[in-house]
């Protein structure tokens, strides 16, 4: 086993990023922004897994010269991005089964940079998925932002962005629609479950600076609480500052909330782990291409705790759920294996691979410095997230596609069995399911016993026999009502299943 100093590790793995689960879902999308043939071929040439540049070049040439309509620049760029995505999509198949190597088009790359730097132009909210899995829900509202000033609250459900429904829309797409240029406005329609009312907000986008560390507090029992929403550049320093603040208030134990934290920067997870893992003990084990080709099982890189970091000895509890992934699992794995924390909740997602973000091309953009002087600078425009290694916990547990099990299991089922309010709500839901099933049965019986289509056919035929004119009737287009936020998706699935149709729900992000 090779052991390297942390400084060396930082140098080697400076660009390593463990990506969020929502970004994995969005990675299959394509965007369009302007480009050229030369750039297309140059871009593809940078992908080392490219099977045949001649084949791609020939296809592009034929499309440009023989397709019956001329290709505009936007179409060519979509083809560029689609070609690169096509190359890496093959890795999702056997024997690689890699769902995490993917291409970042300009919009997705901009979102990634915003997540990792904590800076973007928007309204100041962090989103998750609503309980029914159909709408974006506000997880956090950042201080001193347009969203906070307008009165948006945690648990608000965003039903529309600029008049367009968000029902079933993936989170990265919602985020892209809410973000925009500083000084522009966005209209959000919101459902607030706690007050059972719909609200509308017109928010002016501004430059937002946020910390991934939030909900810092201390209760009457001197138990501290810190939530880490994702792992960004400043997470380590922000977490340490929050820790020091709570200790100054005589904190006796700490709860770290990693629920719905689907990852972020590799180094940020190491920085937080360095607060607790003792000097020179292993935080995580990395197995890269060299280790994969080696016949020695112990080959790889052991990333040890840095003795230059101050260590804190305090009773720890870590909260996780099925959406705790990637960098979150590095931290959880280290704390659990070394016996430094009790893990509470449900099994984590199970993403044990590492990606490096490789810029694919650059564009020249104009900026203004503090003195008001304009200048131009090349910035990365697109990138390829390439899986470059796999990681194991300090005790060599392979968590990829397996997840990390908590010490203390506590799921929704536990709550449904113990909390009186939820028990009563569950009873009401089951009663509604029975009522809906009975109504569906009655509807089906009526349709079978009353064949109005047949009756209309007979009536029409009788008119034709008498030589009467029968006018065509256009299709009736009823108004489609949007499902209410937090609609019981399980009820709809139950009814579909009762009708003999496939009731499998879509993939959750």
* Residues with catalytic roles: 326, 337, 351
Contacts of 129 (CB under 8 A, 6+ apart): 135, 136, 137, 171, 508, 509
Cα gap 181→299, rounded to integer Å: 48
3-state secondary structure of 26: helix
- Asked if 482 contacts 159 with a C-beta cutoff of 8 angstroms, the reply is yes
DSSP 188-241: EEEEETTTTEEEEEEEE-EEEE--SEEEEEE-TT-EEEEEE-SB-TTHHHHHHH
Q: CA-based Rg of the chain, rounded to a whole angstrom? A: 27
First-to-last alpha carbon distance for the chain, in angstroms, is 36
Helix, strand and coil in the chain, % to nearest 5: 35, 25, 40
Cα separations in angstroms, 371 against 19, 154, 375, 490: 36, 38, 11, 58
- Asked if 320 contacts 343 with a C-beta cutoff of 8 angstroms, the reply is yes
3-state SS string for 5-17 = CHHHHHHHCCCEE
């Amino acid at each position: 086993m090779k052991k390297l100093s942390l400084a060396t590790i930082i140098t080697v793995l400076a660009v390593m990023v463990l990506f969020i689960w929502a970004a994995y879902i969005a990675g299959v999308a394509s965007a369009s922004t302007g480009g050229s043939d030369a750039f297309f071929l140059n871009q593809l040439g940078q992908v080392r897994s490219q099977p045949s540049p001649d084949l791609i070049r020939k296809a592009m040439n034929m499309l440009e010269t023989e397709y019956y309509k001329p290709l505009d620049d936007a179409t060519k760029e979509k083809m560029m991005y689609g070609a690169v995505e096509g190359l890496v999509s093959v890795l999702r198949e056997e024997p690689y089964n890699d769902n995490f190597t993917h291409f970042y088009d300009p919009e997705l790359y901009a979102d990634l940079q915003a997540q990792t730097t904590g800076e973007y132009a928007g309204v100041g909210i962090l989103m998750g998925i609503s309980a029914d899995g159909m709408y974006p829900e506000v997880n956090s509202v950042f201080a001193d932002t347009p969203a906070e000033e307008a009165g948006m609250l945690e648990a608000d459900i965003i039903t529309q962005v600029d008049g367009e429904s968000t029902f079933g829309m993936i989170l990265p797409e919602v985020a892209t629609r809410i973000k925009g240029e500083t000084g522009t406005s966005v209209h959000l329609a919101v459902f607030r479950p706690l007050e059972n009312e719909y609200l509308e907000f017109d928010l002016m986008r501004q430059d937002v600076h946020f910390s991934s560390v939030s909900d810092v507090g201390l209760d009457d029992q001197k138990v501290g609480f810190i939530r880490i929403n994702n792992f960004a550049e400043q997470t380590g320093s922000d977490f340490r500052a929050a820790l020091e603040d709570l200790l100054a208030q005589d904190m006796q134990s700490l709860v770290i909330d990693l629920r719905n934290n689907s990852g972020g920067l590799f180094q940020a997870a190491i920085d937080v782990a360095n607060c607790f893992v003792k000097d020179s003990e292993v935080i995580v084990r990395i197995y890269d291409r060299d280790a994969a080709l080696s016949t020695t099982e112990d080959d790889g890189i052991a990333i040890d705790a840095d003795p230059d970091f101050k260590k804190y000895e305090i009773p720890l509890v870590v909260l996780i759920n099925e959406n705790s992934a990637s960098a979150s699992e590095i931290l959880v794995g280290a704390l659990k294996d070394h016996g430094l924390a009790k893990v509470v909740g449900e099994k984590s997602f199970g993403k044990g691979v590492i990606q490096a973000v490789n810029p694919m091309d650059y564009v020249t953009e104009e900026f203004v410095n503090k003195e008001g002087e304009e200048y131009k600078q090349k910035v990365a425009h697109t990138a390829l997230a390439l899986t470059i290694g796999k990681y194991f916990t300090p005790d060599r547990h392979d968590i990829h596609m397996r997840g990390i099990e908590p010490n203390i299991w506590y799921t929704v089922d536990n709550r449904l069995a113990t909390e009186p309010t939820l028990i009563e709500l569950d009873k009401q839901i089951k009663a509604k399911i029975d009522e809906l099933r009975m109504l569906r049965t009655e509807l089906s019986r009526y349709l079978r016993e009353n064949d109005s289509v047949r009756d209309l056919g007979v009536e029409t035929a009788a008119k034709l026999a008498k030589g009467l004119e029968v006018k065509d009737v256009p299709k009736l287009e009823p108004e489609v009502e949007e499902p209410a936020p937090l609609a019981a998706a399980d009820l709809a699935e139950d009814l579909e299943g009762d009708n003999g149709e496939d009731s499998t729900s879509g993939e959750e992000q």
